[in-house]
Structure 1
């Protein structure tokens, strides 16, 4: 049988078509706002739960109790009829009526020679009218009429006897546990109370989500609204904190790009000026010897190479490393590979220390580039380097220590600015690119004094 054919596939297609047909009418009925849908999610289970409890209580407990109470009243009436049938004298009947009235709460009167004008029962809400009618039919077997309406406190039962009518008045409380509307009112009231409480709590949660959506909308329009205050449920707070971090990273990213553009436009003027001066100082053709011409060309080529290096560094910084996919990386193995490559390039590695296996999800090419920039900076100052990695409460920590001249404390932050660290060789974008890559991973990079006498670069990456 071909794939996608047969009764099973046809049934699935039929169900999918049914769901598609039902989806649009359901969406028309459902509220569109998140608050409305959350309240509907709360209200429907409440109504279903209260409905089930009402049915269980009303359909079982009340019916059982009603049958037993109706059977009790019917048994008292049957017992009274049996006594009246056995003792027919007026004195005995009067004594029986007094005893029944005193001991069973049934008020009975004998109406000799009377006949019922109607039979049956005037129905009321609840199972007790049917239960009482069934009990009278099963136990008495004579015509009767039950009046539930005439007196709100008493139920009148008229029983046709051969020589008259027996009028029985029983208190309603002997046939009814409690008005059913009390239970219904309690169920509805508790549902409304819980619904109102849930509405108040949910409005607070939705208010935090709306504030976050408003902040995101304003931020998308380019307005600096500042960090928003995290509030609401834990998930909403986490979303607000993540939004604040994202906003901070984007502002920092824009500021770095703006600073780099300003720095490139400024620093390119120097080699361009030298080129312009070199071209202006070249003597007319025929008045310059080959050696002088070669020296002038060499200087101009060096200026062009310097410009190419600046532009390439800026392009690398502008491109970033966002296209690389983060993967799980063994940090110790990566440090060994970086150290081996640095040794082959002529650098000096003192040690690579990773006491225990360390794994992190990162962009390996980007982090290797960060480490290579740091190692090349140390090599430029003829320093030896020690690499180490470990974990702390913030995540994975990678340290690059050297024994070089170091950096003054008051410049440890400023060297991350574009072109700030280019006075001692290089383009001045290495540390800027390194911080940009590390922060793109959600981490941070900082400088401090090394125990080896030089500089320590501390990289913290989320685990």
Structure 2
């Protein structure tokens, strides 16, 4: 249902065609049902059928839904509630059976309640459309013939139900095919919109499919362009502000050189903290403002090199590789993400344990420590800009509060996820997952 050039029919017309096609097919099956099935015969028993049943003669009516059932009893059957007895009918039945009148019983339900004639007569013979009970006395007891209770669903109704089920089975592949064609462009559109939500610099959404989706894709592409311009303007503004702030900070640092040592040290510490905050803010803004080339990145060698550099500086970092993996990512951004997690753990615990593994189709990197941990309600707040685990605002213990924010931004831009959780036995655990490209061999633990 897609025209050449990716211009599909509107969803309204596709839905209408689907409904009309199902309606036409259902009507065709109904017409076939009408032409192929015989109309249901009304169930009735003539007086001669009752006589044949009592005489043990096969009448050919046994295939009916309410064919007479024959049984033997020691006593004559009682007349049921609402059943009638007619002397003429009983005498006629006795004559057909060639037995005396007193050896025959005949009770029947009226089938024409509003008419004085309670039973239909055809060619001088009564016809019972409702229940009938007849009996004849034999040397071995009473032989009783009676209509069984009417079933809830009779044979012709079962055949109709079977045909309707067959219709549904025939329509199911047809409806599934059309539904797939109808929802496929919607699913592609949703996936593209989700990618754009994670990465504002992702490629534009393809303008194809039904006309409604094409209009939405064009609107979202225009919105993405405006967001891109907004990010660029914000980056330029932050850069200009940072440049302007560095100059007065340099003058303040120069002018306090002649101040007493206690005052100079305190002011210099404040200046250093302001410079660190400005640098971190600029890095956070610029991190998501430019395109990044993505290539296959093997996480095991990257983490091995990262841990080796940390150990060279005397930091306590261990790495365990359960299952290595390759991801499609920007290597510098992923390394920065892991480095931020390492710095955060070392700052609060002094030692970090890194583990690389797989979680199904995802590569999983866990950075854990044995620090004080966090309250459960604080775990998600740690990803907000300038929120720190150390409320004292000491730059030596709390940083600037942007490390985890930058790390989650990088993870989401790569289609991944970064979460924090308190570790069993104490400490904090940061778990980063993203789609893996391929699985590598299991590597030994690095102490």
- TM-score, normalised via structure 1 length: 0.42
State the structure with bigger RCO (CA 8 A, min sep 6), 1 or 2. 2
The higher radius of gyration belongs to: 1
Structure with higher helix content: 1
TM-score by length of 2: 0.43
